[in-house]
Amino acid sequence: MDAHRMQIIAALTRQLQLNKYASLSGLIAAVYDYCITVDKEVKINHQSLQAKHS
């Protein structure tokens, strides 16, 4: 398992333990937020790699 998957599983487990997600929509929103964060990180990494090569 990669580090990002480990992070999301740990985060979701923590949140569920805190009972913050009383509904499925809360859980979906959390996963969506996480995916946006990862997507931004990937774009930033990609841009920095391109800058190094040019």
Report the predicted TM-score, pTM, of the whole model to 2 decimal places: 0.42
Residue 19 backbone zone (phi > 0: left; psi -120 to 50: alpha; other: beta): left
Q: What is the pLDDT of residue 21?
A: 54
Cβ pair 30, 15 in contact under 8 A = yes
Residue 21 backbone zone (phi > 0: left; psi -120 to 50: alpha; other: beta): beta
The pLDDT tens digits of the residues spanning 2-54 come to 888 888 888 877 777 766 556 777 778 888 888 888 888 888 888 888 888 76
Q: What is the pLDDT of residue 47?
A: 84
Q: What is the pLDDT of residue 8?
A: 82
Which residues have a Cβ under 8 Å from the Cβ of 21 and sit 6 or more positions away? 15, 27, 30
Q: What is the pLDDT of residue 1?
A: 59
The domain locations on the chain are 3-53
Length of the chain: 54
